[in-house]
Chains A and B, each alone.
Chain A
């Protein structure tokens, strides 16, 4: 009975969301304003003897009716091809070009383009199984009707925010290029099924939509934060069996650049000519072959009620993955998916893009226990000279893992991503003796937390 009610509600929400989506595309903001005005005047002008608002009702309704008639005007078929970049980033505007082919014999003006970034409506199973964060605190009616859950799921599934992009005039028998802008909201592949070409009626109240099927996709990388140039923990380490990873051991004689003297630089590296010329100590810098190998451990064991925390953790991992590579070290990304993943990037082995691609596709792990990640990390531990562990919670199994990592003598930075306002309640536990290497990042304030590193 309860399930039937949920199914019934789901169908209702599904259909009404479809209608709403269609109405939002059919009517322009001016059209919505006219429709709103029509309803208000309808209420006020109900009694035609008391007010003249019924004349406004007639005029606004007539304007909408004439606009609707224009919808039936036949439109020429237009070819459309996107020139998409390889990647985009969640939360950053993605600008790309579209090529529009007007095969007709007349120029086309006043056209606009509305992308379709996929249907955000959840499936029935998703609707039945998902739990909105904080749903247990809602009243019984909200829980029974599940409207908030539905709107939360729709928001979560929306891959990109699209808006109407005005197009330039399309001259006859020619191809015109135009720039289109969308805002990707989620990481992962963003698939375009079709694009809607829109013509407005003379009054600008409604749009005639002509869907142009063009299947293309772009990979949206996780949102990344700025991380200051941090001195990551770790020491130079010899990379065993790492011919592919390290060409030789020690410092090569390969001269890279000149730089200012820093305390601790060997005196034999001083470049005397430059020092004499500038009056300041200048040293030669060589390509070092002892290098650091950092690991990023990403906790993918998401608690159902905190999906934002998981997304933020992925973003934090992506931010470090970008930053560390530029510091000439190897970066190992360790996480659990359907199986154990360990991906290495840096020094010509792999590229940051590949790391980010992995992170763009990472999903919460529900099949395996946390012990699997622990096993993976401990197996990998001897090879790394330090690392960053990003946890979704700070419970006993995770603290136990950190204890074992610490026992290995390798320095680690431990980051716990927590819900907003939860930072003060987290006890550092095994990291109490190294408070500078333990941070709690609250969702919504992650950038500020990372900037303080």
Chain B
């Protein structure tokens, strides 16, 4: 199948229009379409096509590397990679259109097929790459994600054009047009349906689908694993690095606070975000006026998406070196960063005893779900919390959990189906007394609220592991944690009632290969730091030393190649020097002939040339002499035995004499003749 003229060009222009690379696409389209008006074709062998495909593969790998190192595992960046398809496959389609091969064999694309011993009986599949390239243009145009109706219109026109070339002769033009119109109409409503379906899936249909398709951390809700069966599997992947500055680094980094509990989900009822003002350099952000007693640390983290929630300690006052488009906080103090670079290393200044969280709203921060109320009230009664003041209540609850509860990841009691009076939380509080941090945090929040103390549920990370016992801490995925914010003495405080053993339990689950993953992570961290922060760290210092062997290798290769080339050319020269018959004097005669008659046509032997019309006329009556000399020349040139001395002398003297006579002019020739 070969695309009709102008279709590929139109596909490229459409791609250029959608991606904003119109100028490039016009040039590419002109180059492709010119092939239809150009007669000459390149003759590409299989080996040439292999090299062209290898070039495409190198371009693809290069593009992937650029994407990977620039913005990491960003979904948007993956789509940006798809936008480059026409550029990446352009050499191949050029070879197809300007080459003399109608179809490119499949062996070109697969190294395995290339290496496999050929089976003569099996024909190799071959195809024209035109339509594949056309498809790549459309996919790339779609990846640009311009949310306007032009994409659908352009797509319909181009697909119609392509399908028109394959229409069945059985149907008339109007029937075809009506069928295609029906398909476009169906597609129009279908694409709207698809979009709505995703919204539906993402929204409410099922928890797992929402979790699977969820993009990043959600500051609006936190789905807990309360009531789930089985282990919570968290990997040892390093997510954050904390380098302590003034004072010890914070123990807990908060990502989100939630105030409303429904079923097993914590929600942020007050989730409106407001911008945080920045200083003139647009990299420093101020949450609240600075105090004199402050702690600071540097937080390094990848920003896989342009929009992310930053994990920060309670009481954060100021962020430095964060080149983001904007910074926002909500009323529950989640900090959202927009248009962040792929990797940040920002300085954080915070004050333990100050928080910019709003004071509690008693209608929300004391709210308890009715289902949980019986179990909570029973505990409050048992512990006689109502008779205590707030600090006593907090202390009592803390020691209650430490003394009576245990940390466990697997909760077998969840095998029972919950009923109204038998929720996962009530089973945890009254029966099992074993659970993970979400149980402890949720139970603490709700018990505090039941005892009349405003509290919130917080998720984030626990900072605890310092691999080199130095100032840098690593935060892994399994260090994700949930705890409580409690209102005490007129300010919000962190309260973590999960038994301290949770850290060792989690660490025991570390993989035996974690050191290898850490090594890779460290290398990537250093690279990203160098790439994004441009610091003169060890990588930059070591780069010349890393490049030196490469440069040496390259120079050695160049030297060897040049030496070999010199040797080859020398041997060629030698062989030319020893070519038998090269010293023949007949070449002088040939020079004379060339000077008069022009160059001997390529591929014509001396004998044929001399026999040809112009030469024959010019030589005239000297023909027998020339024939004798030519015969001697041929013998001298090609006879492996060579010429006897006498004949060699005859050739030399005869040729010299003839040349001499010619130089003296035609008069002498005529006289001699």
| Chain A residues in 8 Å Cβ range of B135 | 33, 37, 40
Which residues on the A side are within 8 Å of B171 (C-beta)?
Answer: 110, 202
Identify which of A41, A44, A57, A202 gathers the most chain B CB atoms within 10 Å of its CB: A202
Partner of A30, one of B166, B183, B186: B166
User: Does A301 have its Cβ within 8 Å of any Cβ on chain B?
Assistant: no
Asked if A45 is an interface residue, CB under 8 A from chain B, the answer is yes
Q: Is there contact, CB below 8 Å, between A41 and B139?
A: yes
Is A363 interfacial (CB 8 A cutoff)? no
Whether A204 contacts B167 in the complex (CB less than 8 A), given A52-B146, A56-B155, comes out as yes
* B182, A50: Cβ atoms closer than 8 Å: no
* CB <8 Å contact, B190 and A58: yes
Q: Which residues of B contact A116 (CB under 8 A)?
A: none
Residues of B within 8 A of A58 (CB): 186-188, 190-191, 193-194
B273 CB contacts on chain A under 8 angstroms = none
Contact (Cβ within 8 A) A44 B155:
no
Shortest C-beta distance, B557 to chain A (Å), equals: 37
Interface residues of A in 54-68 (CB under 8 A from B): 54-63, 65-66
Query: Any chain B CB within 8 A of the CB of A397?
Result: no
A59 touching B139, Cβ below 8 Å: no
Q: How far is the CA of A52 from the CA of B213 in the complex (A)?
A: 17
- Judged by a CB distance under 8 angstroms, whether B75 is at the interface is yes
Cβ–Cβ contact A29 & B1, under 8 A: yes
CB of A203 within 8 Å of the partner chain: yes
Complex formed: what's the CA distance from A62 to B175 in Å? 16
| In the assembled complex, A325 has its CB within 8 A of some CB on chain B | no
B470 within 8 A of A: no
A206 to chain B: closest CB distance in Å? 10
Assess whether A54 is in contact with B143, with CB atoms less than 8 Å apart.
Answer: no
Per a CB cutoff under 8 Å, which of B156, B170, B186, B193 touches A199?
A: B170
Point out the residues of chain B lying under 8 angstroms from A204, CB to CB.
Answer: 163, 166-168
Contact flags B163-189 to A (C-beta < 8 A → 1, else 0): 100111111000110011011111110
Known contacts being A50-B145, A52-B146, is A444 close to B170, with CB within 8 Å? no
Residues of chain B with a CB closer than 8 A to A63's CB = 159, 163, 180, 183, 187
Chain A residues near B121 (CB, 8 Å)?
444
Task: Select from chain B the residue with minimum beta-carbon distance to A445.
Answer: B120
Return the CB mask of A16-47 against B: 1 if under 8 Å, else 0.
Answer: 00000000000011100100010011001101
Smallest beta-carbon distance B564→chain A, Å: 35
In angstroms, Cα B213 to Cα A49, docked, is 11
Find out whether the CB atom of B143 lies under 8 angstroms from the CB atom of A109.
no
B198 with A48: CB separation less than 8 A: yes
Inter-chain contact B131/A51, CB cutoff 8 Å: no
**Most chain B beta-carbon contacts within 10 A, residue among A33, A48, A203:** A203
Partner of A56, one of B82, B138, B176: B138
Contact of B169 among A52, A110, A201 (CB under 8 A): A110
B195, A48: Cβ atoms closer than 8 Å: yes
Q: Is A394 an interface residue (CB 8 A)?
A: no
Residue numbers in A under 8 Å from B82 (CB-CB): 44, 51
B-side contacts of A70, CB under 8 Å: 179
Question: With an 8 A cutoff between CB atoms, is B401 at the interface?
Answer: no
A45 neighbours in B (Cβ, 8 Å): 142, 194
What per-residue 1/0 map shows which CB atoms of B137-161 lie under 8 Å from chain A? 0110111111100011001100100
A153 close to chain B: CB less than 8 A? no
CB neighbours (8 Å) of A37 from chain B are 135
What's the least CB distance linking A90 to chain B, in Å? 12
B474 CB-CB contact with A under 8 Å:
no
Residues of A within 8 A of B194 (CB): 45, 48, 54, 57-58
List chain B residues, Cβ under 8 A from A57: 191, 194
User: Contact residue range for chain A?
Assistant: 35 or more
Given contacts A47-B213, A109-B169, contact A52 B145 (CB under 8 A): yes
- Is B76 an interface residue, CB under 8 A from the partner? yes
CB contacts (< 8 Å) of B182 on chain A: these are: 62, 66
Task: Indicate whether B90 reaches chain A with its CB closer than 8 angstroms.
Answer: no
Would you give the 0/1 interface string for B500-527, flagging 1 where the beta carbon is closer than 8 Å to chain A? 0000000000000000000000000000
Structural contact, B139 and A49, CB atoms closer than 8 A:
no
Q: Does A53 contact B (CB under 8 A)?
A: yes
Cα-based distance from A205 to B165 in the complex (angstroms): 11
Q: Is A200 an interface residue (CB 8 A)?
A: yes
Q: Are A40 and B186 in contact (CB under 8 A)?
A: no
Bound: A57/B194 CA distance, A = 9
B109 within 8 A of A: no
B79 at the interface (CB under 8 A from A): yes
- CB-CB < 8 A to B141: which residues of A? 52
The residues of A that contact B190 with a CB separation of less than 8 Å are 58, 61-62
Residue on B nearest A443 in the bound complex, by CB:
B121
In the complex formed, the residue of A with least CB distance to B131 is A33
Least CB separation from A108: chain B residue: B170
Given contacts A55-B142, A55-B191, contact A110 B170 (CB under 8 A): yes
Residues of chain A lying within 8 A (CB to CB) of residue B213: 47
Task: State in angstroms the CA–CA spacing of A63 and B143 once bound together.
Answer: 21
CB neighbours of A52 from chain B (8 A): 141-147, 151-152
Is B1 a contact partner of A59 (Cβ separation < 8 A)? no
How many whole Å from A49's CB to the nearest CB in chain B?
A: 7
A109 to B171, CA, bound (A): 8
| CB pair A203 B167 closer than 8 Å | yes
A66 touches B186 (CB 8 A): yes
How many angstroms between the C-alpha atoms of A201 and B166 in the bound complex? 10
Q: Residues of B contacting A199 with CB < 8 Å?
A: 168, 170
Cα–Cα distance between A208 and B569 once the two chains are bound (Å): 67
- Kindly list chain B residues whose C-beta atoms are within 8 Å of the C-beta of A53: 139, 142-143
- Cα-based distance from A51 to B1 in the complex (angstroms): 28
Report Cα–Cα, A203/B131, bound state, in Å. 15
Interchain CB contact under 8 A, A203 and B151: no
Chain A nearest Cβ from B162, distance in angstroms: 9
Mask of B183-223 contacts with A, CB within 8 angstroms, 1/0:
11111101101110010000000000000010000000000
B175 touches A202 (CB 8 A): yes
Can you list 23 A-B contacts with CB-CB less than 8 angstroms, sorted by A residue number?
Answer: A29-B1, A41-B142, A44-B142, A47-B198, A51-B145, A52-B142, A52-B146, A52-B151, A55-B191, A56-B138, A56-B142, A59-B183, A61-B187, A62-B186, A62-B187, A63-B159, A65-B183, A110-B169, A111-B170, A202-B170, A202-B175, A203-B166, A204-B163
Q: A residues near B, CB below 8 A?
A: 28-30, 33, 37, 40-41, 44-45, 47-63, 65-66, 70, 108-111, 199-205, 444
The 9 closest A-B pairs by CB, nearest first: A110-B170, A204-B166, A58-B190, A110-B169, A58-B191, A62-B186, A62-B187, A200-B168, A59-B187
Known A28-B166, A59-B184, A203-B183; 4 more pairs at CB < 8 Å: A30-B1, A52-B146, A59-B187, A66-B182
